[in-house]
Amino acid sequence: MNEIFHDWIKERPSFKPLREWNPSLIQSIIDKHPTLTNKIHGFMHRIVTGDMGYGKTTLAYKLMAKLDYVVNGYTTIDEEEYSYKFALDNMIYRPNDLFNRMERSLDLDQPDYIWTIDDASIHFGRQIYRKDRDTYDTLEDNLPTIREYVTCLIITTPKLNNLAKPFRDFFDKKIKITLEEGGMKNHTRRGKHYFKEYYPDDVHYVIQHPYDDRYSCLVPEPFYTWMHDKKKDALRDYHKWKRDKQIKKNDEDDKEEGDEPD
């Protein structure tokens, strides 16, 4: 029994645990995974967008935990800890982490259930075309076959246009996070799903929104801290990578200046 979790729940009697929350995507993911259904092996994705602090990461984290909770047939509140550990393991930040997960899926000869690429505009943003061409090319090569690696991919970013072109080319189904009455003080969020259904001319389309989920942006402790610490570690790595790239560029510039003929 996780005492921190139980104390957190006791202090918030109106908070709904995973077993009482039923997001719309869960059954759709189960229906598409080859080990969970007799249906054809499928794939689905969502790009979760919204302003900073609206709860994009929270929604993705809780969706993954809920999927694990359902797939494993959990029924008790204590078992939520196992599901949040699963969700934490499937939060992806760095490009190398994504590529390593792809290789692991191939070795296991079956796709994972779900991944979230969190803060994708930082680690997989438009800037990688100029600053990390190897990563860009690897994404471009692998995203067309993403269903071989994972059944559901969640991507969080403030705006779709912040993402590198390979993501913008292949993924267009969105969940837009908005506030409910009361604004930021109200922890309830609304996640509205948007699909672009194209007509045969591939130019005109109609926007559909078949799902409309409400959820709490609160994550119980210590599970929130787990997630937040992983996010911060990835941000530190990103800033170190940027510094190293800048140092390398400065060294190359100095060398070029030194080699300039008289």
pLDDT at 259: 45
Per-residue pLDDT tens for 84-107? 999 999 999 999 999 999 999 999
pLDDT at 260: 32
pLDDT at 2: 82
Number of domains in the chain: 1
Mean pLDDT of each 10-residue bin along the chain, 262 residues long: 87 90 92 79 92 94 97 95 98 95 93 96 89 90 93 95 90 91 85 83 74 92 96 91 73 49 34
Per-residue pLDDT tens for 190-215? 999 988 777 777 776 777 777 889 99
Distances (CA, A) of 218 to 225, 230, 260: 12, 17, 59
Q: Is the four-CA dihedral 67, 160, 137, 252 of positive or negative sign? A: negative
Q: Write out the residue range of the structural domain in which residue 59 sits.
A: 3-258
What's the whole-model pTM score?
0.88
Residue in the block written with tokens 């990688």: 128
The distance from CA 172 to its chain's CA centroid, rounded to whole angstroms, is 14
CATH code for position 217: 3.40.50
Which are the contacts of 67, defined by CB distance < 8 A and separation ≥ 6? 26, 29, 30, 113, 114, 152
3-state secondary structure of 111: coil
Q: Is the four-CA dihedral 148, 153, 157, 159 of positive or negative sign? A: positive
Instruction: Give the rounded percent of residues in the chain with a pLDDT score beyond 90.
Output: 63
pLDDT at 200: 78
Distances (CA, A) of 204 to 14, 147, 167, 172, 207: 45, 27, 21, 15, 10
pLDDT at 185: 79
pLDDT at 72: 96
Distance CA 88, CA 83 (A): 9
Q: Is 39 exposed, middle or buried (0-12, 13-18, 19+ CB in 10 A)?
A: exposed
